[in-house]
Amino acid sequence: MAETLTQEKTRTEESVERPWNVVVHNDPVNLMSYVTMVFQRVLGFDRKRAEKHMMEVHKAGRSVVWTGGREKAEMIVQQLHGFLLLATIEKD
Amino acid sequence: MKFYRHGSQYAEFVGIDPFLAELIRQIPQAADADDNTLAKDRLFSSPTKDNAELAADWQELVVPELRTQFRSAVSQVEHDLAENLCETDVDDDFPFRLQIPLEHADAWLSALNQARLVLASRYAFSDEELGERFPPQLKSLRELVLYQITIYGWMQELIITALP
């Protein structure tokens, strides 16, 4: 009985796709004002939210700036790379 | 060197001395990463830390697009430099001025950023060095390049303030 329950639970977990995070990493070359501007443009953040994430990148070394489906996550990373930010996607 | 924004048309650096004018002329050359693996790796960074399939697809499909985008920005800056970096008064110690059409601001921000990233990678500056204010005396090529990165960053900051 216990084995059956475990198998069902595993199947259910696998069937639900975990979302993807877009992570921006710290880079000592990119300027704070530039990173803030890019967050506003690419992610549609207002200035306050953009600065909060920029400071998180600066102080913690990384910030999750978007979470959702893989295709859109890849598109956002491509846009961020177009602005020369260090960005990756990873499973939540 | 002073900076002005003229309405929504263009931004302008004025009172540029010949040394700074030469550094500004070198933006396209500084942005060229073709002969340096570290610089290329920085301009075209991986979108993943652990997904080899995604990394390979990215190299094949996305990197060529980014390369075209980056080269286009540098070409625009080359054109603006040829057209708009002018010597206004040969008797002045600060005789150069540079006009940047604001519709080209994104190209300038990209080219300046490319140049800063390529130079920082090429000369392997540490975080501490990049965080320093530029050295008062330029006694070595390394200090000159650090100064160049700082000047380009300063130009980026000013161009961002001029954006609508």
| ipTM score | 0.91
Q: Which letter, b or e, does each residue of A58-82 get, where b requires 16 or more Cβ atoms within 10 Å of its Cβ?
A: eeeeebebbeeeeeebbebbbbbbb
pLDDT of residue A16: 66
pLDDT tens readout for residues A12-52: 554 467 899 999 999 999 999 999 999 999 999 999 999 99
Q: What is the pLDDT of residue B131?
A: 80
Q: What residues are paired with B39 via a beta bridge?
A: none
| Contact of B45 with B33, CB cutoff 8 Å | no
Q: Is the pTM of this model over 0.95?
A: no
Q: How far is B117 from chain A (nearest CA, A)?
A: 6
Is the distance from CB of B130 to CB of B50 less than 8 angstroms?
no
pLDDT tens digits, B12-29:
999 999 999 999 999 999
**Candidate from B67-71, B137-141, B158-162 with smallest mean pLDDT:** B137-141
Q: Which chain A residue has its CA at the smallest distance from B39's CA?
A: A84
Shortest Cα distance, chain A CAs vs residue B44, angstroms = 7
With an 8 Å Cβ cutoff, are A88 and B44 in contact? no
* Cα dihedral B46→B48→B53→B59 (10° resolution): -20
pLDDT at residue A82 greater than cutoff 70: yes
- Judge contact between B35 and B58, C-beta under 8 A: no
Q: Which residue of B has its CA nearest to A21?
A: B48
Element (H, E) at B59: helix B52-61
Strand ranges in B36-106 using DSSP code E only, listed in sequence order: 85-87, 96-101
**Contacts by B70-75, CB closer than 8 A, 24 or more apart:** B70/B31, B70/B43, B70/B110, B70/B114, B72/B107, B73/B106, B73/B107, B73/B108, B73/B110, B73/B111, B73/B114, B74/B27, B74/B28, B74/B31, B74/B32, B74/B107, B74/B110, B74/B111, B74/B114
B117 CB within 8 Å of a chain A CB? yes
For residue A18, the one-letter residue type is R
- With an 8 Å Cβ cutoff, are A89 and B48 in contact? yes
B62: pLDDT strictly greater than 80: yes
CB atoms within 10 A of CB B35: 8
